[in-house]
Amino acid sequence: MTLSVRDRAVRAAVEQGLLSPAQPVTALLDVTGIRASATAVTSAFAAVTTAPVLHAFAVKACPLVPVLRLLYEAGLGVEVASPGELALARAAGIPPARTVLDSPAKTPAELRQALALGIAVNADNLQELARLDTLVGSAPTASPLGLRVNPQVGAGSIGALSTATPTSKFGVALRDEGAREAVVQAYLDRPWLTRLHTHTGSQGIPLALMAEGVAAGYALAEEINTKAGRQQIDTLDIGGGLPVNFASDEETPTHADYARLLAATVPGLLDGRYALVTEFGRSLLAKHGTVLARVEYTKTSGGRPIAVTHAGVQIATRTVYAPESWPLRILAYDAEGRPRTGEPVVQDVAGPACFAGDLLATGRALPPLRPGDVVAVPDTGAYYFAHHYAYNSLPRPAVHGFTPTDDGGTAFATVRPAQTLDEIVAESGGDRAGALVRETVRALAPDADMEA
C-alpha cells in the first residue's frame, strides 16, 4: 500500500505522542500544502491580469498567528473583521499596507485605529461613510477607503452563508429603490473614496454566480468613473468564498478555474486598469487540515455500531449542527496510526459531548473500529479546529504543523498547544469563585441595617 502524506503524518503523530491516551484529540496542518495553495492563488491571477493583486487571507477562516505568518511569508496579506482578528494579524507581523478591514459593525474606535495605521477600510453602509467623513476630515490618513455593495444576485445552497441575497445584512443593496444612485453620489461627493468592494462567494455558491456578483461591481465602478470624469475607483475588492470539495481529496474548483472564468465574463476587470483585492479563506486552508481523535469505546445501539471518539461538536460545530450542509469524510486508522483495513461496516462516529446529536458521521461505511483506533477527519483546516466551541468545557486541541522530511519521516512544529484544565478554570472565573456571594452580601447589607 502506498502511503499518502497524510497517512505518514498520522502514523508519525501517534509514534511521537502527539496523539495519545493523554492527548486523545489533536489537529494537523500540512505546511507544504498551505504554501502550495498560496502559490496557486497568486499564479492563477497573475495569469489573467498584469495589475497589482493583494490576496488578503480571510483571518476568520483560520485565526492562528503562525498560519497568518506562514501565508504572509508566502506573499499574502490579510482581511480582518474584528479587533481580535486585527490583533492576530499584527502579532503575525502583517504590515498595514497588506491588511484590509471589513465588518458590518465597526465602532468609531476601530475606524480610528485603522485610519491611524493606514489600513484599507471597506465601509459597509452609508451611515459608516458619514462616520468616515468626520474621521477623515479630522486627521489625514494613508488608508485606502472603499464601500461594500450587495449586488443582490441571489443565494447558494447554504442560505446562512449567502451574502448577496435580496435581504443580506452586508453592504448597500444595489437593487433597492434609489440605492444605486445614492452610491454613485456618495463617490462623487468623496474624492478620497477610491475602492469598491463586493463579495458574493461562499460555500454552496456556484462559480457563475460569484462571477455575476463581480461583474455587477465592475459595472458600478465603470459607471462611477464615467460620471466622475476620471478613474476615481482604482481598486476593486472582489471578496473570496471559493467553494471547497469536501467529498474527496480532489481540489475543485481551483483558483485558476475562477480566474479564467472572470477573464471570460468580466474581461474589463482584468485589463490592467484596476488593482484587485481578493479575500479567500476556506479555499486556501480547508484541504490542509486534519483532525485526529482516538476511539475510546465501541458499542451497539438499536443494531447500529457506534464508535465514541474525542472529536465532536467542540471542533466540528458546523457539521454536528448542520450535517447536511457540512458533511465531513472519516478515515480509519489502527492504534499505531496505520490505515485500518477490513470489510466496511455501517456505523456512526460520535463525539464526546453530552447530547445525542454530537455525531461526526451517521451511517458511514468504515472498516470496523476498535477502542484505541484513530479516526482522521480531513478538510478541517478552515472553520473547524481553530474555532473552538467550549461545550462541556472540553479543551481546545493542540494544533501542529507538519512537513515531510528527506528521509521519509515527518517533522512537526506546534502552532498552538493544547488547552490545560487550569486554563479552562482561569477562563471561567476561577480566581473569582466568591464574587457573586460577596456581591450578594454587599447588596443585602443596607436592607439588613434598615431592618435593624
Do 362 and 376 meet the contact criterion of CB atoms below 8 Å apart? no
Phi, psi for residue 58 in degrees, rounded to 5: -75, 105
Q: How confident is the model at residue 242 (pLDDT cuts 50, 70, 90)?
A: very high
pLDDT value, residue 438: 73
Per-residue pLDDT at 59: 98
Q: What is the pLDDT, as a whole number, of residue 297?
A: 98
pLDDT band at 447 (very low <50, low <70, confident <90, very high): low
Mean pLDDT over each residue of the chain, to the nearest integer: 94
Exposed (0-12), middle (13-18) or buried (19+): which is 249, by Cβ within 10 Å?
A: exposed
Task: Tell me the pLDDT tens digit for each residue of 368-418.
Answer: 999 999 999 999 999 999 999 999 999 999 999 999 999 989 999 999 999
Instruction: Give pLDDT, residue 205.
Output: 83
Look up residue 419 and give its three cell numbers.
Answer: 488547552
Cell (9 digits) for 273 = 486598469
d(CA 358, CA 317) in angstroms, rounded, equals 9
Asked if residue 167 has pLDDT above 80, the reply is no
The closest alpha carbon to 293, from 392, 404, 381, 378, belongs to: 378
Average pLDDT over residues 230-243: 96
Q: Which residues contact 148 (CB under 8 A, 6 or more apart)?
A: 102, 122, 123, 124, 125, 170, 171, 172, 197, 198, 199
* Cα distances (angstroms) measured from residue 361 to each of 99, 324, 330, 366, 385: 38, 11, 8, 11, 16
Q: Is the peptide bond before 352 cis (omega within 30 degrees of 0)?
A: no
pLDDT, residue 254, reads: 97
Lowest mean pLDDT among 164-168, 218-222, 247-251, 414-418: 164-168
Judged against a pLDDT cut of 70, whether residue 164 lies above it is answered with no
Instruction: For cell 440605492, name the residue.
Output: 179
Helix (H) or strand (E) holding 375: strand 374-378
Min mean pLDDT across 1-10, 34-43, 224-233, 311-320 is at 1-10
State the average pLDDT over residues 225-236.
98
Q: What is the mean pLDDT of residues 306-335?
A: 96
pLDDT above 50 (res 105): yes
In angstroms, the CA 102 to CA 441 distance is: 45
Strand partners for 26: 292, 398
Is the pLDDT at 170 greater than 80? The verdict is no
Strands (E) across 90-202 are located at 99-101, 120-123, 145-150, 172-173, 193-197
Percent of the chain whose predicted confidence (pLDDT) is above 70: 94
